[in-house]
A and B are shown apart, each in its own frame.
Chain A
Amino acid sequence: MFELEAILTQFLNGATLVSVLILISMGLAIIFGVIGVINLAHGEFFILGSYTVIAADALGLNAWVGIALAPVVVGVFGGLVERGIIRFLYARPLETLLATWGLSIVIRQLIRIVFGVSYRASPHPLLGDLTVFGFSYPIYRVFLMTASLAVILVAFYIFYRTDFGVKIRAITQDVEMASALAINTSRMYLYTFAFGSALAGLAGALMTPEITVSPEAGLSFLARAFFVVILGGIGHLAGVLGGALVVGELETFLSYLISATTAQALVLVVAIIIIRYRPQGLFRG
């Protein structure tokens, strides 16, 4: 019974990590898959979501209000960035890299100027355990898993069941053809970028109670999201799931058995092998 509890907890830990990775990576995957832009400021969009929650708390608002506001705030910000900078750089991947890196530096410093350099905290929105047949697990983590599932379902719905989604998929396949078919590709890119940014912001807001909130915190999330997206394959949503599954479960499983550093290094090596043998990602579109 004792062992079973540990295994179950570990499984749920892995599942939570996978869910978290999906949340973090979904925005990057969508932007990369549809527009072909590697947004090096993705980590900053993520942490801006956390800072929205912090700001909401500072203004006396409830944590859930902050979480609801985050995708809106970051989505609008993403839209502005797209109009102001990204829009001019499509089909120029080098320039997008440079510009988004510069942007990430700028955002980091702006966060620092507004919120200060110290770590920030806000009240936990949902503290406590969910107990089923004597087995307890933090309820917020269960909530994260549900939220992640919801995000996946919404994304799938949008991409495969709506008009908007059809247009997006058309653009992903062949942007010139789509444009010739009178799809406003420029407007679609804007919406996609804003949507991806909003997802990143939502992820950051949801993760606030579990992470350190500081201006520099965004970078490590960029690295993680990057990883998941590349492993899983670009251009199809299922890829994010696959990538998150591999990275999340593998790392959790390994770190239970061996030292964390070795586990992380091993996951990186496995990643190399996977990319080498299946460069298109683990899952085909």
Chain B
Amino acid sequence: MSRVREVLPLVVGAAVALGVPLVVGDYYTELLSQALIFGIFALSLDLMWGYAGVLNFGQAAYFGLGGYLVALLAREVHAFDPTYLGYTLAVLAPSVLAGGLGYFLFYSRVTGVYFTIITLVVTMIFQLVVSDWYWLGGMNGILGAPSFALPIPFLFVYEFDTERKVYYMLLAVSVACWLLCRYVVRSPFGLVMSAIKDNEERAEFFGYDSAYLKTIMFTISAALAGFSGALYAHFSGFVSPPLFGLIFSTDVIIWVAVGGRGTLIGAFVGAVVVNLLKAFISDFLEVLWLLVIGAFFIATVFFFPDGIVGTLRRAYWRLAPAPAGRGGPVDRRKVPEAVE
């Protein structure tokens, strides 16, 4: 019985996700596509924040890095189709940066709020430098990133030329990212991260190198953020400095908090809900909508402290208590191997 209960939300969610474009028009399909890209971005933050317990206040730096690399390649490279190179660099460059920062910071025991502040400073530096650098487009940004296409070398290029194709493609990509994150989080590595999040000292006494592990998680998180940035560049065709900015970094934190931190799916829910809510309310209240959004955030804190997904989950499982040993995203019965 509880098997069905576990699977039911997934089935309903999948049905909705698959069926929606058939019901709503092209514009809303496109809006949802954007929400999915932002959802992947939020997912990257949730990995670090929900599962490693470290808040990155500058996640947008990696998003922007990914987006700009794609746009730059599109502008500069004409000898061959840089699509795959773009995605690769968009994943690699943030990884290198995050790896470097992690090495610089985690290994020196800089963590918690101080790490958060430094990530904030990093994003500010990026925004400052990119705004000033003419070759990177300065404040005007870079135009001309191509729309989604899958080049099969020497054969043809498959173009995602309708909103629906883009949506289904992004849906598949989002599911893949989600599954990847789920795998990471439930793997032995993920379990150790949970332990570190709970009590770092104790995990270290067990012999785990928390600095190394946090750096790994940070790298994965940044890579995913960069990937979502690359997706955004293809989706919108235009990148500009606000993509690196503090406001965007704060936005993604809000999405994860609203959706439910530490739930993975909550990242998507938060991104979708907040962006759709914004679009919907601004239709009716041209200026006051922002006031409503602000009030909504405050209300979320009081009425949905675990985020939407967290609150829903608790309500859902409260209807019939789960048998002992189940429930929650991590199966604690598995014993992690010692990691070097």
Contacts and interface: CB of A to CB of B under 8 A. Distances in A.
B297 A272 contact: no
Enumerate the 7 nearest inter-chain pairs by beta-carbon distance, A residue then B residue, closest first. A102-B297, A105-B294, A106-B294, A109-B291, A102-B298, A261-B132, A279-B114
B302 interface: yes
B250 interface: yes
A99 B125 contact: no
B105 interface: yes
Nearest to B291: A109
Interface of B: 55, 104-105, 108-110, 113-114, 117-118, 120-122, 124-125, 128-129, 131-132, 246, 250, 253-254, 257-258, 261, 287-288, 290-291, 293-298, 300-302, 305
Nearest to A104: B294
Contacts of B110: 275-276, 279
A97 B249 CA distance: 13
A166 interface: no
A38 to B, nearest CB: 8
Interface in A257-284: 261, 264-265, 268-269, 271-272, 275-277, 279
B124 A268 contact: yes
A102 B295 CA distance: 6
Interface of A: 85, 88-89, 92, 94-95, 97-99, 101-106, 108-110, 112-113, 223, 226-227, 230, 261, 264-265, 268-269, 271-272, 275-277, 279
A265 B124 CA distance: 8
Given A105-B290, A110-B291, 14 more contacts: A92-B305, A94-B257, A102-B293, A102-B300, A102-B301, A103-B298, A104-B294, A105-B293, A105-B294, A109-B287, A261-B132, A268-B124, A268-B125, A272-B118
Contacts of B128: 261, 264-265, 268
Contacts of A230: 113-114, 117
Contacts of B125: 265, 268-269
Contacts of B298: 85, 98-99, 102-103, 106
Nearest to B298: A102
Nearest to A269: B125
B133 to A, nearest CB: 9
The main secondary structure of chain B at its interface with chain A is helix
Contacts of A105: 290-291, 293-294, 297
Nearest to B124: A268
Contacts of B294: 102-106, 108-109
B254 A98 contact: yes
A101 B254 contact: yes
A279 B120 CA distance: 15
A40 B302 CA distance: 17
Contacts of A277: 108
Nearest to B297: A102
Nearest to B108: A276
Contacts of A95: 301, 305
B117 A99 contact: no
A101 B250 contact: yes
B295 A223 contact: no
Given A102-B294, A223-B124, A89 B301 contact: yes
Given A85-B298, A98-B257, A264-B128, A275 B291 contact: no
Nearest to B111: A279
Nearest to A96: B301
B33 to A, nearest CB: 26
Contacts of A101: 250, 254, 297
A98 B297 contact: yes
B122 A272 contact: yes
Nearest to B296: A102
Nearest to B247: A219
Contacts of A271: 121
Contact of B253 (A97, A112, A226, A227): A97
A220 to B, nearest CB: 10
30 contacts: A88-B302, A92-B305, A98-B254, A98-B258, A98-B300, A102-B294, A102-B296, A102-B301, A104-B294, A105-B291, A105-B294, A106-B294, A106-B295, A109-B287, A109-B290, A109-B291, A109-B294, A223-B124, A223-B246, A226-B117, A227-B121, A230-B113, A230-B114, A272-B118, A272-B121, A272-B122, A275-B118, A276-B104, A279-B110, A279-B114
Contacts of A272: 118, 121-122
A275 B112 CA distance: 12
A276 B118 contact: yes
A279 B293 CA distance: 35
Contacts of B120: 226
A264 B128 CA distance: 8
A227 to B, nearest CB: 8
Contacts of A106: 291, 294-295, 298
Most buried by A among B109, B110, B261: B110
Contacts of B258: 98
Contacts of B287: 109, 112
Nearest to B120: A226
Contacts of A112: 287
A126 to B, nearest CB: 34
A245 to B, nearest CB: 18
A203 to B, nearest CB: 21
B137 to A, nearest CB: 15
Contacts of B250: 101
Nearest to B112: A279
A105 B298 CA distance: 10
Contacts of B55: 94
A98 B260 CA distance: 12
